[in-house]
Amino acid sequence: MTDDTTHFGYRTVDKHDKARLVGGVFDSVASSYDVMNDLMSFGIHRLWKRYTLEQSGVRPGQRVLDIAGGTGDLAAKFARRVGTNGHVLLADINAAMLRHGRERLVDAGVVGNVDYAQSDAEALPFADDSFDCITIAFGLRNVTEKARALESMLRVLKPGGRLLVLEFSKPLLPLLARAYDAYSFAALPMMGKLVAGDAESYRYLAESIRVHPDQEALAGMLREAGFEQVTYHNLSGGIVALHKGFKF
């Protein structure tokens, strides 16, 4: 790759094209996103997100930014935790995902302390030192300039606040990695075709995971962006990892 190109799955594309290509993926899968998450992970994604919530340290009255918040799984839980005096901002660059998330939360009665913003993680349109906690779950690998996005997150985080990055990562055991590869490249596109009518978007999902930075590389990126006390915790044998960093 050159400075002007980046990964879109296994393809090398112009950096200016990636956001459009990723947008096409999520336009296609928005309506079936929740069902596919349950099917693909056998429901385990709910446990991964529950662990993220537990590690957030969020308390009543605080402000939370959920980036790439999609259909609002985490935002709904944070809204209950921060209470009526707190605030949650669900942000996503994709209009279809954001619309689906808003409809889902309103239908669930989660109103009053949640707002929505269509925004780019690389250039968050919020004031400095605005949020006590920022989360991005399964969204960072879709960002073109990850370093720029992390710096933008650091800027809008309050001193003492924490960032939580929940993302697919590198399985720890070779046998698990082989089984995971076989499942990802055979089963995921098939499920995508049957449920969402879109095999290619789920082939992209499998490929995007493989070109995403592994646990140590991503921890290094958080440190380079300016986060401190950076740690990560492997979930499901490293298939997923939760990275945590603080702003001081």
**Measuring CA to CA, which residue among 202, 203, 224 is closest to residue 213?**
224
What is the pLDDT, as a whole number, of residue 102?
Answer: 94
Question: Encoding tokens for residue 229?
Answer: 């006390």
> Cβ of 211: how many Cβ atoms within 10 Å?
13
Cβ contact 121:153 at 8 Å: yes
Taking only the tens place, the pLDDT of each residue in 205-229 is 889 999 999 999 999 999 999 999 9
DSSP 106-146: HHTT--SSEEEEE--GGG--S-TT-EEEEEEES-GGG-SSH
What is the pLDDT, as a whole number, of residue 215?
Answer: 98
Q: Considering the chain, what percentage of its residues have pLDDT values greater than 70?
A: 99
**CA 78/CA 76 separation, integer angstroms:** 5
Name the helix (H) or strand (E) containing 245: strand 240-246
SS3 118: strand
Mapping DSSP onto H, E and C, the string for 42-107 reads CCCHHHHHHHHHHHHCCCCCCEEEEECCCCCHHHHHHHHHHCCCCEEEEEECCHHHHHHHHHHHHH
What mean pLDDT is predicted for residues 58-75? 95
CATH topology of domain 18-172+203-246: Rossmann fold (3.40.50)
What is the pLDDT, as a whole number, of residue 162?
Answer: 98
**Measuring CA to CA, which residue among 64, 8, 7, 12 is closest to residue 204?**
8
Least confident of 26-35, 66-75, 138-147: 26-35
Confidence of residue 202 (pLDDT cuts 50, 70, 90): confident
Q: Considering the chain, what percentage of its residues have pLDDT values greater than 90?
A: 72
Least confident of 41-45, 169-173, 236-240: 41-45
Sheet bearing 157-168, strands edge to edge: 114-118, 87-92, 63-67, 131-137, 157-168, 240-246, 228-235
SS3 169: coil
Question: Apex CA 111: angle with CA 107 and CA 113, to 5°?
Answer: 150
What mean pLDDT is predicted for residues 80-84? 97
What mean pLDDT is predicted for residues 62-81? 95
SS3 214: coil
Q: Which residues pair with 11 in a beta bridge?
A: 8
Q: Which residues pair with 240 in a beta bridge?
A: 168, 235
More reliable by pLDDT, 21 or 173: 173
Confidence of residue 1 (pLDDT cuts 50, 70, 90): low
What is the pLDDT, as a whole number, of residue 107?
Answer: 93
Taking only the tens place, the pLDDT of each residue in 6-62 is 988 888 889 888 888 888 888 877 778 778 888 888 899 999 999 999 999 999 999
